[in-house]
Amino acid sequence: MANKEFDVVVIGAGPGGYIAAIRAAQLGFSVACVEKWTNPTGKMVLGGTCLNVGCIPSKALLASSEEFEKVGHHLADHGITTSDVKIDISKMLARKQGIVEKRTGGIEFLFRKNKITWLKGHGKFVGKTDAGVQIEVSPTQDGEVETVTARNVIIATGSKARHLPGMPVDNKLISDNEGALSFDTVPKKLGVIGAGVIGLELGSVWRRLGAEVTVLEAMPEFLAAADAGVAKEAAKQFKKQGLDIHVGVKVDEVKTGKNNVTIHYTDKDGKANTLEVDRLIVSVGRVPNTDNLGLEAIGLAADQRGFIPVDDHCKTSVPNVYAIGDVVRGPMLAHKAEDEGVLVAEVIAGQKPHIDYNCIPWVIYTSPEIAWVGKTEQQLKAEGREFKPGQFPFAVNGRALGMGSSDGFVKVLADAKTDEILGVHVIGLNASDLIAEAVVAMEFKAASEDIGRICHPHPSLSEVMREAALDVEKRALNK
């Protein structure tokens, strides 16, 4: 087979990879993207972890479980009477899969539209020539092994769930995030190891559907990455909902029976405990997919944790080879990977793009949602940076009250002297959308006064952002 040559070859078609491929094609390059993902029906698909077993399906299940809980527990407040409410798990999962297929099919359409070649299989570096980097593509289904030449390569192979020794994941009794998206029945008792983003979201899904959920977290503090005030409010809300969260836990042993899992653990006070559950979700972070890439063939190596070292423009130590997303430093967030994909395509084109990593938002899609951008109070205190906080609750917001979800608040942290916004933290309804205003403000180095002086629609949840900004100078209008 003749060796195909491309200006840009992207390895991986998750959010970082497919966006990088599209942007490179928009800039006039000949582009190929290597992807081997096969869905449960045996069809090869694009979209990577995020679209197939991550962000998109989990949000679909979160939405379904929220509707179920709303009907069973909250519609009566609106004067709507219901009875004998049931959940059809198979139909819920089919809906989730339908959304996934719509999105992955959409990326296939975008590849055709932008004339991007999809190389179906596993990509591996095999060497370098004067013409460029050699990549061997081994088909996971029918076809022959082929080698392509790339003048530029973007590594976007993403990450996989971290598994722990002594906890063999079979995605039946012990599941990672992938298995937890496909339970065929609601477990009566569910254990979750890890109170991070994925653990809390998946725990919330099955708790709403009727499971008794216990979350075991090794860290001494709950949601240590979030602002301390937000973490405290979140712990209060989750406890009220029925999520039983234990921090400072050391898991000593996990045993599987025929239809159950027994976890022996030591709590933060040093006391031995036993938890018996029907199913266990192990959600203890993710590790980069950098094994079996043949990095050594081009003189590249991952660090001890499996990450590929890069500079501020995602360049590796090998000329014309870049890496983005979960395989490099920084938060493992799909939107961070997308922005890096755009950045690299533009760098290859000779442009001068830039990413301010301090302005990348974080979101947890629980109920209430949690979102933040910039620095937390504890980070600013540790830096010795003088700041002024402003905070406003959803409890007095007309729109939140009308929607029956008035828990939480918005907090704005601004520099004590210049009033520049240093961080914004939201816990409440639609936090994932509200945080975008704060991201724009911080990218433009706005002051809290700028948000406070912008007219916000009434009644809307966005008014809480404005009131929190006004509260920095203690002039909130509804407080």
Show which residues are catalytic: 458
86/97 Cα distance (integer angstroms) = 20
Strands across the sheet containing 250-256: 250-256, 261-266, 272-277
Please choose, from the candidates 268, 310, 308, 306, the residue with its C-alpha nearest in 3D space to the C-alpha of residue 287.
306
* Contact indicator for 432, 365 with CB cutoff of 8 Å: yes
219/329 Cα distance (integer angstroms) = 21
Exposure b/e, 186-224, CB count within 10 A at least 16 = b? bbebbbbbbbbbbbbbbbbbbbbbbbbbbbbbeeeebbe
- Work out the end-to-end distance of the chain between its first and last CA atoms, rounded to an integer number of angstroms: 72
Please choose, from the candidates 134, 137, 145, the residue with its C-alpha nearest in 3D space to the C-alpha of residue 5.
134
Exposure b/e, 449-477, CB count within 10 A at least 16 = b? bebbeeebeeebbbbbbbbbbbbbeeebe
* Contact indicator for 362, 225 with CB cutoff of 8 Å: yes
Whole-angstrom CA distances from 91 to 44, 103, 176, 205 are: 23, 19, 22, 15
